[in-house]
Structure formats: C-alpha cells, structure tokens
Structure 1
C-alpha cells in the first residue's frame, strides 16, 4: 500500500480515536445508558452466557475465557457459561437473538449485531498501552509466504499493486480486520487507477477470471486464514496481529511493519502444530479499532450491567496475567500487557469510523 494512503489512514484514525476519547471523558451524559425496563425473568437470571467468535474459541484460550468469567461471577454472584463457536454469523446471531447475554466481537461483528438488535450495546474494549481509548488499536495484516514478498516491492516501499489476480483469503465478511478494514484499504488504493476506478468491496467477495481476485477463500477464523496461506491455498491473506500472536514470533523487521517476517513457533498449538518453523512476511499493515465486549440489554438488567462493568474494569481484571499477559510470559492469553492495558468503558459512537467504511 502506498505510504501516503497508510499515513493518511493512520493519522485520520488516531485523530478520530482522540476526539472520541476526549468527548467521552468530557461528558458522561453522552454515554448511552442501559435500558431500565426489564422482564422479571431478567432480574432473576442465575446464569450469564458469553458467546465467543471462532478466533477466541480455541482450547488454548480457555484459561483466559475462564478468568474473565470468574471475575464476573465474583462481582455479580451469577454463574458464567461460555459458548464457543466455529462461525462468525452464528456468534453474531446468538447475541442478537438473545441466546447469549454477553459476547466478544470485532467492531464489524458488533455493528452487525447492533443492526439486528439495537439492544446489543458495547460495554468495554481493551485499551492501548496508555490505559485509555486513545491508542486502543490492533493491526490488520496482508501477509504472503516468505520468499514471495519481493513481488510486492515498488522501489524502496512495499505495494499491494500486484495482489490483483492473486488467490486471496479473507477471514469472514463479518470480520473487521479480516475483511472490512483490508477491503476498504484495497478499494481505496486501486480506485486511484483508471482500470479499477469503479472497484468496490462487493467486487472482492468472489474470485474468478472476471473478478479482481482469481480465487477468494474464507478461513472462518484468523487462524484458519493463516493456514490457507501456509498450505499454499492462497497467495495473500488478511489476518490480525492479536489473533495469531500466540502462535508466532517476530524474526526480522519491526512489529506491525510491512516487510517484517514472522515464524510459526516450534510448540505452536493447533491448528499450527503441523507448521513449526514456517515463515511469512507482511506486505501491508493497517490500524483497526479494538474489539468490544458487548451486552444484550434485553437479557440483562441495568443493575447487573453496572456490576459486570465493575468486574471488567477492576484492577483485579487489569492485573490478571491470564487475561492481560505480560510480554515475557509463556501464557497464552487474549491481550498483551506492556504498560497500562486494561478494559475501558466505551460507547456505541466510538465505532462510527468502522461504520463509515461501509458508506464509502
């Protein structure tokens, strides 16, 4: 991707984050409040069900899921049940139709659930190293197998010009970093060329001789998408750093920079246990808004929501090394801890930059 576009995209996103954070800090009245009218059954709820996307449903993240559940149980006195999934759409529908009370989704998954049912609202997102919303981002990568990255160099910079006509794997069209953000970046880049001035995200959904990509695959999870690359089913894939960090190590370059090379760990768990030592390189990196824990307000009373917020934003949660894992730890967790990372309260409007990608 051209330097100018990446720089502009990054500056714009950081500016929006700062503005949103400033707004939320300056006026608590702007934050959406949970519904106060609830059914009697909601008040008597004994069990809270949390639904997880495929990326966070693996056995290697069971301890992290359980620790989040344990903190919620401690504060609310309710039992927590974890519902893992193998499909984005099933997870989204589960929270939207009330078969789950809470869920952990990417920004796009949350927006789709909210579109289905406005009672689905965000509670918290993991912060950045500052402990605030200002740097609450992770990264969407376009990656290729090691040895193929030279095809994507234009002069001294990496470029995505040559991804046209390649075999490409997304995660799911409901994935933020595995479809929504990278597809918007691809369209924006190629719209500058006369040949592709009418290209839009719909043109990226399917492959074929008359389409932008020769073939399009969907991995179903970021792990499954990376497997599509490692097994040579795809030439280029879109994945996120946070979703595969437990299985890889940086061996050259800087973290989250085009040109960096990563290696599958020798002791990586499934589905990477059959690919120890395999390497891949990044050709494009784009920042993405962090993913929220959400609640279905039709299922959970306002009082209980406040208790859940207390649990999620507590010091105990922020200091739980199975949830926010120190960089030098061997524990496989959901989030990395380098400084002051913690869960911070968030409102629906914070995700408007992702919504706006659909309108462009």
Structure 2
C-alpha cells in the first residue's frame, strides 16, 4: 500500500476494524416478529452472480435451508442498484453486498443490518479487509511513476473505469482517494466525488465508464477502453496470478490465467499493474429484519457462524483449491453491527 494513505481512507481501515473487534451484536436483536416467507431469497451483486460461483452460492443456500427448513433461492442481479433495492424492499430477505451498497440499503430501510461478515485470515475482525485498487495495463505504469513509487498526479484527462456508484472499492474509496489528493491543488480545490461521474471537455477525466462489475472494469483496462480502472482484489483473484511484486501493493503485476472463465476467456496472458491500493472493510451478508422472523434470523446466524461452515471447503475454499469460490480459508463468518460501517458513511460527508 502507499506509504502515506489519504487520511479519510486510513480512517476506513483503522476506525472500522477497531470498532468491530469487540462487536457481538446479533442481527436478530433488531428483528421484529414477522411471518416468514415460504422461500428465502438471497440477492447477489453482479460480481458474484457469474456461473463459476454457482457452487458457492448453492452451498450457502443448503446451509440456510437446513437451518430454517425453508426453501432458498438466488436472485442474480446485473446491477448494484437492483440488489440494494431488493434488500431494502424485502423482496430479497438476504443479500451479499459491499459496504457502500449496505449503507445505501440501510439508509433506505433501517431494518436492513449486517447478518455476518467474513473474518480475516486470523479468524477475527482485526484483519477483515480486502483492497480497493487503481490499475493500469502493464506497460503503462511509467506514466504514473513518482520517484521510486507511484502517484495520481497524471490521471487528469485520462479515460477512467469505475464499477458502480454503489460500489465501495469500485467507486467510493477510489473517488475519495482522488478527491483527497487533488483538492489540495488550487485548480481542483472544490473537486467532489460527483465531479468524477462524467468525463469530457473541462472535466477531470476525458471519459468515465462504469463496468457494472469488478470483472468488467478490469476488462475495460485490459482492452484499452480505459486508461485506468478501479478494481478490487476480492472479485478478480480467481482469474489472475500474481506475476511480480507484492500482492496488493503498488507495482504488483498480475497476469490473466490461461483457463480463466468469461469475461477473461479471450484475455489469457494479458497483464495489469497496481498504482494504488487501499484496504477496505469486508462486505457483509445483510438481512432485512423486517422480512424474516427473529427465530429464523437466529437460526441462520448460528448456522453461518458455526465451525461446520468455517470448515466447509465449498464455502471457504482452501488456498490450493482448484474450485472457484467467493470466500477463502482460513476465514470464517462472524457477527458485526451497523456501526462497523460508519467509516464508509464518513466518506460521503
């Protein structure tokens, strides 16, 4: 990671992890006594709706079905906003969402709160993080070099790809980093994240595009549709190998695997490098407590946080696994609370 992180982004890591360390609040504490639906619907963001994650999604469903006696079905979405609205409205009672999407859903409906979140490799919330990165195609990194490291100074006027305005690591964190860096300059002293939504003459970027998923935002930079892309590590790790450098640090180079599934099947061997990397709070599986009974929420929470699930290799993949999954061993699910995501809210102030 950069030697000096923007202050607001450092707060995202430090404040949230310290707040979460002692948190044991159960989602059922906020639940009201409601009638359960016949089928529990879990909404998934576009990043996790791909076919290769089908087994991981199905295994989560099996755990919940066993715990509750209710049928479970997936709602695979093509847009972050659809996932947020499904959760907030109760059309989906559960959803795996990023921190920013969670904050948006909670703002729409305060009955939406975190159910569980995956831990760090320590098995605790102290290292429950992933990384928001700004990437360039391999060979273009020298444009952003500053001394022995990298800087954002030369990104003005470039083509930039974000993921979605509802994405924490694909918009909220990188846009905050850009604003934090450039607002110190007289020309950009009034720069706001909203100013990065559109490109063109007189704008900060010459062009702004939204990939809709981290995978497609990465495709954009690999195919020269963008000069730079915001892409997390979590959602693309199964498609690439670390070629050189230290994982998730500026200068790290990654190569698309030969057997990578779509949308990378025709991009095998293509490379990208990291010019900025910032740690971010892990994403929760959130619940609408106005759409499930306390009894059912308790049962789901107990099942997901169990040792049995932590050892389930279809959910938490071993590091040498050839399967495609969402979470990695030796992580596990833990409970947390709404306040753990306050630092994400702070980025909007």
Q: TM-score range by the shorter chain?
A: over 0.9
Using the TM superposition, give the Cα deviation of residue 311 of structure 1 relative to its aligned residue in structure 2, in angstroms. 1.3
Equivalent in the alignment of 1:259: 251
Equivalent in the alignment of 1:4: 4
Q: Secondary structure at the match of 2:194?
A: helix
| Structure 1 residues 133-190: Cα deviation after superposition (integer angstroms, max 9, x where no partner) | 1111100010000000011111111111111110000000010000001100110011
Distance 1:317 1:200 in 2: 42
TM-score by length of 1: 0.93
Using the TM superposition, give the Cα deviation of residue 10 of structure 1 relative to its aligned residue in structure 2, in angstroms. 6.5
Runs of 4+ in 1 over 6 A off after TM superposition: none
Say which of 122, 128, 149 aligns to 1:130.
122
Equivalent in the alignment of 1:166: 158
Using the TM superposition, give the Cα deviation of residue 328 of structure 1 relative to its aligned residue in structure 2, in angstroms. 1.2
Q: How does 1:1-360 map to 2 (within 5 A)?
A: 3-5=3-5, 12-24=11-23, 33-38=29-34, 42-43=35-36, 45-337=37-329, 339=330, 341-359=331-349
Distance 1:2 1:136, change over 3 A: closer
User: Could you say which structure has the greater relative contact order, defined with CA pairs below 8 angstroms and 6 or more residues apart?
Assistant: 2
Distance 1:18 1:179, change over 3 A: closer
Distance 1:353 1:272, change over 3 A: same
Distance 1:252 1:213, change over 3 A: same
Distance 1:127 1:9 in 2: 23
Distance 2:300 2:140 in 1: 47
Distance 1:18 1:103 in 2: 22
Using the TM superposition, give the Cα deviation of residue 14 of structure 1 relative to its aligned residue in structure 2, in angstroms. 4.0
Distance 2:42 2:103 in 1: 17
Using the TM superposition, give the Cα deviation of residue 19 of structure 1 relative to its aligned residue in structure 2, in angstroms. 2.6
What are structure 1's unaligned runs of at least 5 residues?
Answer: none
Distance 2:340 2:307 in 1: 23
Task: Decide which moves more: 140-149 or 113-122.
Answer: 113-122
Distance 1:118 1:264 in 2: 41
Q: Secondary structure at the match of 1:243?
A: coil
| Structure 1 residues 314-353: Cα deviation after superposition (integer angstroms, max 9, x where no partner) | 112111112111111111100122x3x1000010000000
Kept in 2: contact 1:34–1:305 (CA 8 A): no
Q: Secondary structure at the match of 1:183?
A: helix
Using the TM superposition, give the Cα deviation of residue 211 of structure 1 relative to its aligned residue in structure 2, in angstroms. 0.6
What are structure 2's unaligned runs of at least 5 residues?
Answer: none
Distance 2:21 2:53 in 1: 33
**What is the number of residues matched between the two proteins?**
349
Distance 1:173 1:344 in 2: 27
Q: Secondary structure at the match of 1:24?
A: coil
TM-score by length of 2: 0.96
Using the TM superposition, give the Cα deviation of residue 96 of structure 1 relative to its aligned residue in structure 2, in angstroms. 1.1
Aligned-residue CA RMSD (Å) = 1.6
| Structure 1 residues 278-325: Cα deviation after superposition (integer angstroms, max 9, x where no partner) | 001000000111000011112100111000101110112111112111
Kept in 2: contact 1:203–1:211 (CA 8 A): yes
Task: Decide which moves more: 57-66 or 220-229.
Answer: 220-229
